[in-house]
Structure 1
Amino acid sequence: MIFRLDERLVFPDPELAEDDGLLAVEGDLSPERLLLAYHNGIFPWYSDDTPILWYSPHERFVLFPGELKISKSMRQVLNSGRFTVTTDLDFESVIRACAAAPREGQDGTWITYEMQEAYINLHRLGHAHSYEVWENNILVGGLYGVAVGQVFCGESMFSKVSNASKTALISLCTSGLYNLIDCQVHTDHLTSMGARDISRKEYIQMLKS
């Protein structure tokens, strides 16, 4: 059963999600609703031709900073001084670049204009953060997400040159600010860096703690 949200700031129990993780539809992207969602292991994921869709997957693809794996070649990149990394310096440019970045097997982006504006608002309120990667003072990579205590819910990343997004992720993991990085979408390169699946129950327990 898919739940239809109204103006009330409530979500159904995440355990009631469908097999694909879909839990509810409609509602809005107000800061209050977004924060309530993230604190309960729920996130929006939809496109321009659908209503707002809210998901809570049965398994979460996450990275524990202490389990981060950095290859020898990547360490050489980090030690070369090629990139400069900043935090929250240009959130808007990062989310726009993530929205514009092509995704394999996708015609468009799930980071709709409405989504961009909602997360820019969250950033202004101090809940969403970005990591920017610069090369010769040009923004070449980065990521953004929402902080829930010591859990960082990663939303998207982009890279215009090789290893830029990896540099952003490594900077996030080594910042000492978070105990868990929610990577959401399973990828082979994140698996190679130490990301793995945990159950929704374990994930939500970490959010609550």
Structure 2
Amino acid sequence: MSQSPPTRPLTWLEPGEPFPPVETAWGPQDPAPGLLAAGGVLDVPTLVNAYSRGIFPWYSAGQPILWWSTDPRMVLEPQSFRLHHSLRKSLKKLLREGRLDIRFDHDFDRVIRACAQSPRRGQDGTWILPAMVQAYTKLHQAGIAHSVETWIDGELAGGLYAVNLGAMVFGESMFARRTDASKMALAALVAFCRHNGLPLIDCQQETSHLASMGGRPIPRAEFQEHVRRATRHAAPSWRFAPLYWRTVLEDGATT
């Protein structure tokens, strides 16, 4: 009778200790594929170091900080984004009526807290714990984390937040209070990335929802190489102009 190979011991990080190589993350035969290390701290230098290596934190209440490097990695190439016909129609109508406003970094605190409170299918509770809110708020204050906000009729209807290092964008979480408001924020982020020549949005883990909008999994080694190249470039100025919509609304790729 064959037995599964033993799981490698998980690396425990002390504050300031470097991350182990991403190739040492747990594999498909282990209890948590993609898990790289535990412990450490959520300060700005550690988070910047993590993202620059394609590593992200994700853990639940009662757990230590857990660091991940999944293989494969889910990504969205802005040029491959698929804008569904119904969403295109809604966007055009709201824009024509002057009811939609996309704002970047207008109220990061409200966005990340709304993401933390948003229920997730198949999840009990949230991974955006108070310590995570505090950590990403400090990243925002350092100009590294950003919010993309969908305002409809003067009210915050949905949005997302992301991390940006150089030409690399790492999507984190979304929320919606009105139908398709989070998708509108994603479409705005794609339009911004297209306008500024940002070639990839990290989506971390594979979902059918992201796949329906053009996301796809790529091998971790390919993702790591892209991160290394992209983070060498200068970061764009995080402002949204209405003319950016042309890059997605006039695109012929719809479903």
TM-score (norm 1): 0.97
Counterpart pick for 1:170 among 187, 192, 196: 187
| Cα contact 1:149–1:207 (8 A) shared by 2 | no
What secondary structure is seen at the aligned counterpart in 2 of 1:183?
strand
Letter in 2 for 1:97: A
What secondary structure is seen at the aligned counterpart in 1 of 2:163?
strand
Counterpart pick for 1:191 among 197, 211, 217: 211
Letter in 1 for 2:43: S
Does residue 48 of structure 2 align to residue 29 of structure 1?
no
CA-to-aligned-CA distance 1:110-150 (integer Å, 9 cap, x gap): 00000000000000000001100011111110000111211
Moved over 4 A (4+): none
* C-alpha distance in 2 between matches for 1:18 and 1:148: 26
Pick the structure with greater CA Rg.
2
Alignment of 1:38-57 (within 5 A): 38-57=51-70
* C-alpha distance in 2 between matches for 1:185 and 1:109: 16
Aligned alpha-carbon RMSD (Å): 1.0
* C-alpha distance in 2 between matches for 1:72 and 1:163: 12
Structure 1 residue runs of 5 or longer lacking an equivalent are none
| Cα contact 1:131–1:168 (8 A) shared by 2 | yes
* C-alpha distance in 2 between matches for 1:3 and 1:11: 9
Does residue 29 of structure 2 align to residue 16 of structure 1?
no
Quote the residue 2:108 is aligned against: 91
* C-alpha distance in 2 between matches for 1:7 and 1:100: 29
Percent identity for Structure 1 against Structure 2: 46
| Cα contact 2:70–2:205 (8 A) shared by 1 | no
Q: How many residues align?
A: 209
* C-alpha distance in 2 between matches for 1:134 and 1:14: 39
Deviation at 1:83, TM superposition (A): 2.4
* C-alpha distance in 1 between matches for 2:37 and 2:176: 32
| Cα contact 2:16–2:46 (8 A) shared by 1 | no
Structure 2 residue runs of 5 or longer lacking an equivalent are 1-8, 28-32, 230-255
TM-score (norm 2): 0.80
Deviation at 1:188, TM superposition (A): 1.8
* C-alpha distance in 2 between matches for 1:162 and 1:184: 24
What secondary structure is seen at the aligned counterpart in 1 of 2:204?
coil
Deviation at 1:96, TM superposition (A): 0.2
Counterpart pick for 1:2 among 7, 10, 13: 10
Quote the residue 1:71 is aligned against: 84
Letter in 2 for 1:16: T
What secondary structure is seen at the aligned counterpart in 2 of 1:174?
helix
